[in-house]
Amino acid sequence: MSALGHYLEEAGIASVAIALIRPQAENTKPPRALWVPFELGRPIGPPSDAAFQRRVIFAALGLLNASKAESLIADFPDDDPRETPDHSWQPPISPALDQNADALEEELRALAPAYAQSCIQRGRSTVGLSGLAPAACGAFLAAWLRGDAPESPVPGMSTMLALRFAADDLKAFALEAALAGGGKPSSKQLGDWLWGRTALAAALDTIRRRLSAGDDERGKLVAPFFVPALRTKPD
């Protein structure tokens, strides 16, 4: 979007971008940009906080009053209010002691009641990308951990795409289960728990490494989607 801003300005259309990664904005030098200190994927702040999001949008639009310059990058002054950790929050399960296929399936069974409770409390779920139930997603990943390379369990979907979508569903499943116990954990708290203390994270990293080192080009393409880059340990 920063680069696109230059084309818009050349056509006589004033532009402003919202930047989540400041070094990237500094390199692309947009005509105008508002840098925001938020988590990736949340360019206007926390979900369901309309008042805060309006502040971000108005701050960005306010930059349109500035005359055209080579580059203007302004800083939004406030952090995401939901990034304050909630020390009363407790994860739904204890850390996994083992990191294998059996541990993964046992962990998913332990999370199932909390996930069901979360669905009732929140009235929605983001699980469903693969079209498989969470238990079926877990069985699919567990087969990979046991050394198999099973066919896609989803009719009409390639094995690698089904594997990626099943992994995404299980990440959503675990995070939604973690919201069932009350409290308002920050996204960092949730991420630290998921990626540092679960058998699911260990399983996803094992599969990522296997696909990255394998001969299947499609597997190499989907491997980076299993673990966020900031959570990836050196191979």
| pLDDT above 90 (res 4) | no
Q: What torsion do the CA atoms of 171, 176, 179, 184 make, to the nearest 10 degrees?
A: 70
| pLDDT above 70 (res 168) | yes
Q: Which residue ranges make up each domain of the chain? A: 2-82, 101-231
Q: How far apart are CA 59 and CA 77, in angstroms?
A: 10
Plot region of 182 (φ>0 → left; ψ -120 to 50 → alpha; else → beta): left
CA nearest to 171, candidates 137, 144, 142: 137
Rg (CA), the chain: 21
Q: pLDDT digit string (tens) for 81-126?
A: 877 888 889 888 876 656 789 999 999 999 999 999 999 998 999 9
Q: How far apart are CA 105 and CA 126, in angstroms?
A: 20
Q: How far apart are CA 187 and CA 183, in angstroms?
A: 12
Distances (CA, A) of 73 to 18, 41, 59, 207: 9, 20, 12, 40
Q: pLDDT digit string (tens) for 196-218?
A: 999 999 999 999 999 999 999 99
Q: Between 183 and 76, whose confidence is greater?
A: 76
Average pLDDT over residues 53-76: 86
Share of the chain above pLDDT 90, in %: 57
Residue 75, beta-bridge partner list: 35
Q: Between 233 and 42, whose confidence is greater?
A: 42
* Residue 89 CB burial class (10 angstroms; 0-12, 13-18, ≥19): middle
Average pLDDT over residues 150-164: 95
Q: How far apart are CA 192 and CA 219, in angstroms?
A: 26
Q: Token pair of 171, please?
A: 């990440």
